[in-house]
Amino acid sequence: MKKLLLLSVAFLPTTALTAPSQSPDEKVRAIAAEVSPDRMHQTVERLVGFGTRHTLSTQTDPKRGIGAAVRWAEGEMKKLGLEALQTCDTVTGRRVPTPTRVCNAVGIQRGTERPNDVVIIQGHIDSRVTDVMNATADAPGANDDGSGTAAVLEAARVLTQRKFPGTIVYATLSGEEQGLLGGKILADYAKTQGWNVVTVLNNDIIATAARPTAYAMTSMSASCRKGRVCRGRPISPRRPTASAAKTMLRRATSRAFSMASPIGSTSAST
Ligand SMILES: [Zn+2]
């Protein structure tokens, strides 16, 4: 109930101008309805196009590997008008035998009233094949986690068209398959920024195909086609992906709106 009240306050300034009959919940649903299945599919295709996004893959090739993928995601965030940057660290570990630079693409949408209160929307951009140390084989990772990365970028596209009292951070994390490395790097960054992280919405395999499809067959690695465990098994149906993204977006929007000023203020905005 408290949340509902907060939401009502958050929507006060705009409901009179746009759709007086729309409840806060309806408004959140309307925002989520702007998610485009086609756009998400295009994003997944683009991610698959990097061949592999393995954390230990090339960082210098302009078209293939994790470096190109992270730079691309950062560029997409920039295009949306976000403060885009890479948060990086050099790490070694059980699945990282030699010191390796691991970078996340991060986009920041500053809140208008309480910028220190932060909602993080994230997915991991890195991929793998069955052998987690194989950094050169094709690892399309359409479902794991192209689907989640597409959700992050689509959420950014929809939500950057509005203003929120609190800050929303969009993050495509690397190093997940090598030990949740990108998550730690982002957490460290949040600490240095002094962010009050209210919510983290993690999106990992938000859609998948139960069995190989035409799309899957064109982008799966050989090991996947042999039917072995494959993290790269791609998605095909657009609808489930978009529907999962919409659900996530509704949650994100609700949280972002609920970070409004205390009841009594009318300066919150959409
Ligand atoms: Zn995953």
Query: How many angstroms separate the CA atoms of 200 and 118, rounded?
Result: 9
Q: How far is the CA of 112 from the centre of ligand 1 (A)?
A: 33
2 pLDDT tier (thresholds 50, 70, 90): very low
Per residue in 137-174, pLDDT (tens digit) is 999 888 888 888 998 999 999 999 999 999 999 999 99
Highest-confidence segment of 5-14, 30-39, 81-90, 136-145: 81-90
Per residue in 42-83, pLDDT (tens digit) is 898 899 999 999 999 999 999 999 999 999 999 999 999 999
Q: How far is the CA of 26 from the centre of ligand 1 (A)?
A: 32
Read off the pTM.
0.78
Q: How far is the CA of 166 from the centre of ligand 1 (A)?
A: 28
Q: How far is the CA of 106 from the centre of ligand 1 (A)?
A: 18
The structural domains of the chain, ordered by start, are: 2-258 (3.40.630.10)
Q: Which amino acid, one-letter code, is at 120?
A: I
Residue 56 to residues 37, 95, 117, 132: CA-CA distances in angstroms? 31, 9, 33, 10
Per residue in 166-208, pLDDT (tens digit) is 999 999 999 999 999 999 999 999 999 999 998 888 888 776 6
Query: How many angstroms separate the CA atoms of 119 and 252, rounded?
Result: 7
Nearest 5°: the CA angle 244, 76, 179 is 65
